[in-house]
Chain A
């Protein structure tokens, strides 16, 4: 929300979330997290993307460098953490923590010491739980003002995927928090097996888009496009996956405009009481008094700064909110939001600024 000082220079139109943006990323550098099971083919997909025009000027950050083996032809090794790759892309080995690496590469770019990369791909290790990465990008406000989490893309092997989901909790979280799921090795698994596996995946994450890779390739936009759920229809709830009892994913829709206070307070309450169990909440909201949709994103107990967009995608004006939770029932969250919305509606709460400290002095 804008603060008192910036409101001093209000242009007269109501913009509680600051400048309306054309896209959720605004001016920030888009960052795509590519995660996925060991051997699922993440590196192959990324390497193919880097050869396309859309992949130019990409900074690739790899954690646990070497494990997945980007080949030497593409990667010119250097003495430092950042090295130039074949088509003008950069590759960064994640030796230090993610925060430090991102701050450094942004500063080096601004100083002209690094070529001006336009996007970042963060390839995580196969065993990585992506939630702490999303937390890092949300928690560090300095970083969040410069980097936009464009999407979480999870790559899954259709042959071994089902077993991996069964055995590895990290794998289930990789699927649950993904915006897009890329299925590889469909030819080896067979179409029937792939279809069954897709149903399993959708049960775990009904809002994700599933794309099958062909010969280890997908269209560049499958990896690079902005957060899919913002523009695509919310999928109806599906049958829960038998091996994913701990993770649930569902979408809520609201047809009437919402009070921001009700939404903010509900999400805050959820974060305080059960933040640990909110893996991710994301959506577009129709907020009373706002012209465009308001983008919200929550990772565990952390909420990203909401932004207002200039216009609704595809003209559809209604709130949609996707939750990926652990051991919280859909109806509990639905009830909480319903009550807050009803109370706020009855109170006719005006859109106001959060209280600042020192108000009693």
Chain B
């Protein structure tokens, strides 16, 4: 029997791999800009210091070129997330420990991609804050983010990032217009019931804060150990939960992203694996029926890559980021096909035409990248553009992989 070699590539053609000049450890911020001169620039957040962000010209997806790569001012911070709207880019800054600086969000003018110019720094540092972990900037008007704040103190240190809405209509003066935290997580409130096994208590804090321009009154909010929530944000000063779905226990929390499929009344929800070797398995991608948004119902999970083969090769194994179906001309948009990342399980595309029975239609699990210390790929995030070119990144060394789906 010919044994597998730890790779599985099916229905994806690799067009290019760029290790980003030796700094190929990438975070969960990927966004496309069509620059004023017509070039297509893919902006990428780095997983950790020393690099801040990298802009890659992907006009020709077979020949990506780094146009700019910037540094962070200190090694105790990371810019794990970024988003582009027009020629403005928002970058999230998070520190290792509470109380450290700088922590917050920075807006850049990227009209000239080679030379991003800072427009504003929105400070979120504070004695009990690590700043911003993830942000969402889609409509050019508001940044939605998972962040600490100078005046926010959680009852438990793991609950230190809540949901915040920042008005950036005047990008030089970002202003907080609303925030919401899960009741029981702010200091002084009756504490929320935590996950019982300490190793699985990962925190009740905000993660992805997806708001789509076609439905500006809704935020699809993932809240890690708190599951996911559909939020009414018509009154941005006073976000209100409409419903909440939480799979844990018996699952192991860390709900990471929720993507609505408005036409079909469906939502895709992913948990994140945060423990190496698949020890927090199963971390899944779930399909929910949200035709009644007050009553989300799980109807299926997506078949993950083979655990026995890929979970023990090094690093994490389980769901993480997905392509988020942005309502932008530069984003692939589908309510039939979804793209999900699984760390050591690579990138998987599913056909969810029948949402009760999602089918794998493509898999990309490449070999461990050059220079990998853990010995396996760790696909961390993905983005698909309107040309159906798929971009995905490795968490440690592999940098950017550009793929063409063939299904």
| Binding between chains A and B | yes
Q: Residues of A at under 8 Å CB distance from B?
A: 2-3, 5-6, 8-12, 18-19, 22, 26-27, 29, 78-80, 82-84, 90, 108-116, 118, 145
Once A26-B407, A27-B362, A80-B1 are accepted as A-B contacts, the answer to whether A10 and B309 lie under 8 Å apart by CB is no
**Would you call B407 and A112 a contact (CB within 8 A)?**
no
**Would you call A115 and B356 a contact (CB within 8 A)?**
no
**Would you call B4 and A113 a contact (CB within 8 A)?**
yes
By secondary structure, the B interface counts as: loop
**Would you call B335 and A11 a contact (CB within 8 A)?**
yes
**Would you call B356 and A5 a contact (CB within 8 A)?**
yes
Please indicate the chain B residues that have their CB under 8 angstroms from the CB of A145 in the complex. Answer: 359
Please indicate the chain B residues that have their CB under 8 angstroms from the CB of A12 in the complex. Answer: 263
Please indicate the chain B residues that have their CB under 8 angstroms from the CB of A2 in the complex. Answer: 353-354
**Would you call B1 and A113 a contact (CB within 8 A)?**
yes
Please indicate the chain B residues that have their CB under 8 angstroms from the CB of A109 in the complex. Answer: 8, 10
Q: CB within 8 A of B2: which of A22, A82, A111? A: A82
**Would you call B2 and A11 a contact (CB within 8 A)?**
no
Query: What's the minimum C-beta distance from A27 to chain B, rounded to whole angstroms?
Result: 3
In the complex, A80 Cα to B363 Cα: how many Å?
Answer: 26
Whether B193 is near chain A, meaning CB under 8 Å from some CB there, is no
**Would you call B2 and A10 a contact (CB within 8 A)?**
no
In the complex, A338 Cα to B353 Cα: how many Å?
Answer: 34
Please indicate the chain B residues that have their CB under 8 angstroms from the CB of A26 in the complex. Answer: 361, 407
Query: What's the minimum C-beta distance from A62 to chain B, rounded to whole angstroms?
Result: 16
- Nearest first, the 6 A-B pairs at minimum CB distance are A27-B361, A112-B309, A27-B407, A112-B4, A84-B2, A11-B263
Whether B277 is near chain A, meaning CB under 8 Å from some CB there, is no
Whether B355 is near chain A, meaning CB under 8 Å from some CB there, is yes
In the complex, A271 Cα to B239 Cα: how many Å?
Answer: 61
Q: Which residue of A lies closest to B350 (CB)?
A: A27
Query: What's the minimum C-beta distance from A107 to chain B, rounded to whole angstroms?
Result: 10
**Would you call A111 and B309 a contact (CB within 8 A)?**
yes
Q: CB within 8 A of A19: which of B11, B353, B363? A: B353
Query: What's the minimum C-beta distance from B141 to chain A, rounded to whole angstroms?
Result: 28
Whether B123 is near chain A, meaning CB under 8 Å from some CB there, is no
Query: What's the minimum C-beta distance from B259 to chain A, rounded to whole angstroms?
Result: 14
Please indicate the chain A residues that have their CB under 8 angstroms from the CB of B37 in the complex. Answer: none
Sampled A-B contacts (16; CB under 8 Å): A2-B353, A5-B354, A6-B356, A8-B291, A9-B289, A22-B407, A27-B351, A27-B361, A78-B2, A110-B306, A112-B309, A112-B310, A113-B4, A113-B309, A116-B10, A118-B10
Once A9-B266, A11-B335, A27-B361 are accepted as A-B contacts, the answer to whether A113 and B356 lie under 8 Å apart by CB is no
Please indicate the chain A residues that have their CB under 8 angstroms from the CB of B1 in the complex. Answer: 78-80, 82, 108, 113
In the complex, A9 Cα to B306 Cα: how many Å?
Answer: 29
Q: Which residue of A lies closest to B313 (CB)?
A: A112
Query: What's the minimum C-beta distance from A96 to chain B, rounded to whole angstroms?
Result: 15
**Would you call A90 and B9 a contact (CB within 8 A)?**
no
Q: Residues of B at under 8 Å CB distance from A?
A: 1-11, 263-266, 289, 291, 306, 308-310, 335-337, 349, 351, 353-356, 359-363, 407
**Would you call A19 and B2 a contact (CB within 8 A)?**
no
**Would you call A116 and B263 a contact (CB within 8 A)?**
no
In the complex, A183 Cα to B1 Cα: how many Å?
Answer: 36
Other contacts beyond A5-B356, A26-B407: 14, CB < 8 A: A5-B354, A6-B355, A9-B291, A10-B264, A11-B263, A11-B336, A19-B336, A19-B353, A27-B362, A78-B2, A83-B2, A84-B2, A108-B1, A110-B8
Q: Which residue of B lies closest to A18 (CB)?
A: B353
Please indicate the chain A residues that have their CB under 8 angstroms from the CB of B289 in the complex. Answer: 9
Query: What's the minimum C-beta distance from A44 to chain B, rounded to whole angstroms?
Result: 24
Please indicate the chain B residues that have their CB under 8 angstroms from the CB of A10 in the complex. Answer: 264
Q: CB within 8 A of B4: which of A6, A8, A27, A114? A: A114
Q: Which residue of A lies closest to B303 (CB)?
A: A110
Please indicate the chain A residues that have their CB under 8 angstroms from the CB of B335 in the complex. Answer: 11
Q: Which residue of A lies closest to B262 (CB)?
A: A11
In the complex, A279 Cα to B402 Cα: how many Å?
Answer: 43
Query: What's the minimum C-beta distance from B4 to chain A, rounded to whole angstroms?
Result: 4
Once A11-B263, A26-B407 are accepted as A-B contacts, the answer to whether A114 and B2 lie under 8 Å apart by CB is yes
Once A19-B336, A115-B2 are accepted as A-B contacts, the answer to whether A27 and B353 lie under 8 Å apart by CB is no
In the complex, A83 Cα to B349 Cα: how many Å?
Answer: 29
Q: CB within 8 A of B9: which of A8, A79, A116? A: A116
Query: What's the minimum C-beta distance from A307 to chain B, rounded to whole angstroms?
Result: 11
Please indicate the chain B residues that have their CB under 8 angstroms from the CB of A111 in the complex. Answer: 4, 306, 308-309
Please indicate the chain A residues that have their CB under 8 angstroms from the CB of B407 in the complex. Answer: 22, 26-27
In the complex, A20 Cα to B263 Cα: how many Å?
Answer: 16
Please indicate the chain A residues that have their CB under 8 angstroms from the CB of B362 in the complex. Answer: 27
Residue with the highest number of chain A CB atoms closer than 10 Å, among B1, B6, B349, B361: B1
Query: What's the minimum C-beta distance from A290 to chain B, rounded to whole angstroms?
Result: 15
**Would you call B264 and A11 a contact (CB within 8 A)?**
yes
Please indicate the chain A residues that have their CB under 8 angstroms from the CB of B356 in the complex. Answer: 5-6
Query: What's the minimum C-beta distance from B332 to chain A, rounded to whole angstroms?
Result: 13
Q: CB within 8 A of A116: which of B8, B349, B353, B359? A: B8
**Would you call A115 and B336 a contact (CB within 8 A)?**
no
In the complex, A26 Cα to B405 Cα: how many Å?
Answer: 11
Query: What's the minimum C-beta distance from B18 to chain A, rounded to whole angstroms?
Result: 22
**Would you call B8 and A9 a contact (CB within 8 A)?**
no
**Would you call A115 and B4 a contact (CB within 8 A)?**
yes
Query: What's the minimum C-beta distance from B371 to chain A, rounded to whole angstroms?
Result: 23
In the complex, A10 Cα to B361 Cα: how many Å?
Answer: 20
Once A10-B264, A112-B4, A113-B4 are accepted as A-B contacts, the answer to whether A27 and B11 lie under 8 Å apart by CB is yes
In the complex, A11 Cα to B361 Cα: how many Å?
Answer: 20
In the complex, A26 Cα to B363 Cα: how many Å?
Answer: 14
Once A6-B356, A11-B263, A19-B351 are accepted as A-B contacts, the answer to whether A90 and B2 lie under 8 Å apart by CB is yes
**Would you call B359 and A27 a contact (CB within 8 A)?**
yes
**Would you call B354 and A112 a contact (CB within 8 A)?**
no
Please indicate the chain B residues that have their CB under 8 angstroms from the CB of A82 in the complex. Answer: 1-2
